[in-house]
Chains A and B, each alone.
Chain A
Amino acid sequence: DAMVIQNPRYQVTQFGKPVTLSCSQTLNHNVMYWYQQKSSQAPKLLFHYYDKDFNNEADTPDNFQSRRPNTSFCFLDIRSPGLGDAAMYLCATSREGGAAKNIQYFGAGTRLSVL
């Protein structure tokens, strides 16, 4: 089945120690998104890629970076995690254009803990 896969499902890191979360997709979608979701809050978009074009949200801290080496993979790098970065990180994909661009397909998420 075509899907969006996030690894690892759970990640524990130390305060200030860089961490990378990964996302892969077999849907061959042009667009990939990263969301942060804290407990009892709405998922919040951090940034997205349209092909190789990176689109950062205005309020995403510089501490968060992303890479998309090819269509299938996208990485979220947190350069110096703080306690406030502990959250669920969701990756999603979508097609481009038309009504299809509105429908995003999500991975199961990576829960990040910062000690």
Chain B
Amino acid sequence: DQQVKQNSPSLSVQEGRISILNCDYTNSMFDYFLWYKKYPAEGPTFLISISSIKDKNEDGRFTVFLNKSAKHLSLHIVPSQPGDSAVYFCAASQGGGATNKLIFGTGTLLAVQP
């Protein structure tokens, strides 16, 4: 049973427009959410995160929105650039100890067309 779901395997956007990547989760105990970006032949790299006590976090062109009642988060990229083309993974964690386990979604391949 997948606790973190990314239902769109791929997304294509024109350069300069907004990219919106979506993620749903089922476990209401998750208290921290992250987005990772992965280029081919590289490992995932951390992009942006949000704690469950917030509903928005912004970092430059990247904004993550969290809707706890809907168990949904989204990543907005504005404006989208060709260099943003990559696979984006949503991940969630549940706190409580010194270490944390991340539960990942299956990823969304974003293609930004010049």
Contact = CB atoms under 8 A, between A and B. Distances in A.
Given A42-B2, A42-B89, A108-B41, A103 B104 contact: no
Interface in B34-66: 34, 36, 41-46, 49, 51
A41 B99 contact: no
B4 interface: yes
Nearest to A109: B43
Interface residues of B, number: 27
B93 interface: yes
Nearest to B102: A104
Contacts, number: 62
Interface of B: 2, 4, 9, 32, 34, 36, 41-46, 49, 51, 89, 93, 95, 98-107
Interface residues of A, number: 28
Q: Which 10 A-B pairs have the closest CB atoms?
A: A106-B43, A42-B104, A96-B98, A102-B32, A108-B43, A43-B104, A42-B106, A106-B44, A101-B100, A50-B99
Interface of A: 4, 6, 31, 40-45, 48, 50, 55, 57, 90, 92, 94, 96-97, 99, 101-109
A50 B98 contact: yes
